[in-house]
Amino acid sequence: MLQDQGEMENPMRELCIRKLCLSEVLEQLTGQTPVFSKARYNVRTFGIRRNEKIAVHCTVHGAKAEKIREKGLKVQEYELRKNNSSDTGNFGFGFQEHIDLGIKYDPSIGLYGLDFYVVLGRPGFSITDKKRRTCCIGVKHRMSKEEAMRWFQHKYDWINLPGKNFIQKANREAKRGCNSSGALVVGHCELPNEGTVN
């Protein structure tokens, strides 16, 4: 118990947002000029040639990243699926239409989707990016998926929805008429199966 309390008070154990990666960026949203991504090799079926510009992305750091991420989470209503986060604690989400963020519609651009990817970290994570004396992050200092979810639930009153696999399994069981515990599924509520003997 004392060890857990000491870990929570240690400033080096605090989680923070290292960067926010956006795809299909508008300069109106970030205030930065986006970078073009190029194709690595030819894809004849899509008509893509090597080194052809095929995508646009932008990386935002600091307070600006917090502000943009907050806009995105408000649109998502602070709900994400467990599948949206990676094993290292990073997570991503997206929108079908970029105008959901409050950006004015421009007929010359049209509507397109927008992806957010948030990279979390702790103080000392930049040791892997250094030019001299690079080192790997220690096992105790690494971040897990569950730890990142707990942090978001605590900080933002986050709602974690079950993953798609869980929902697909529940739908299959609903079509059969009962779930694995033998309860009859009606809509979203479960009723005890009448065929079971108590």
Domain positions in the chain are 13-161, 163-198
Q: Is the pLDDT of residue 184 over 70?
A: no
Which one, of 127, 141, 145, 154, lies nearest residue 13 by Cα?
A: 141
Residue 152: per-residue pLDDT: 79
Which one, of 20, 55, 50, 51, lies nearest residue 34 by Cα?
A: 55
**192: helix, strand or coil:** strand
Token representation of residue 162? 């079950």
Q: What is the pLDDT of residues 149-178, one digit of tens each?
A: 888 788 777 666 666 665 566 666 666 654
Rg over alpha carbons for the chain, rounded to the nearest Å, is 22
Task: Identify residue 98 by its one-letter amino acid code.
Answer: H
DSSP conformation class of 119: E
Per-residue confidence at 183, pLDDT binned at 50, 70, 90?
very low
CA atoms within 13 A on the CB side of 176: 13
- Written as one string, the DSSP assignment of 41-78 is S-BTTTTB-TT-EEEEEEEE-HHHHHHHHHHHHHHHTT
Residue 193: per-residue pLDDT: 45
Per-residue confidence at 8, pLDDT binned at 50, 70, 90?
low
pTM: 0.69
Q: Which residues pair with 59 in a beta bridge?
A: 21
The domain 13-161 is placed in CATH, from the list 3.30.1440.10, 3.20.20.30, 3.50.50.60, 3.40.50.1440, at 3.30.1440.10
Q: Report the percentage of the chain scoring pLDDT > 90.
A: 8
Q: Would the CA dihedral through 162, 168, 169, 171 be positive or negative?
A: positive
Would strands 189-192 and 183-186 be described as parallel, antiparallel, or unpaired? antiparallel
Q: What is the pLDDT of residues 118-159, one digit of tens each?
A: 898 899 888 888 899 998 988 988 888 888 888 878 877 766
Max avg pLDDT among 107-116, 151-160, 182-191: 107-116
Question: How far is residue 198's CA from residue 191's CA, in Å, rounded to a whole number?
Answer: 14
Residue 132: per-residue pLDDT: 92
Q: What is the pLDDT of residues 73-90, one digit of tens each?
A: 888 877 777 788 888 888
Residue 78: per-residue pLDDT: 78
Per-residue confidence at 191, pLDDT binned at 50, 70, 90?
very low
Task: Identify residue 55 by its one-letter amino acid code.
Answer: A
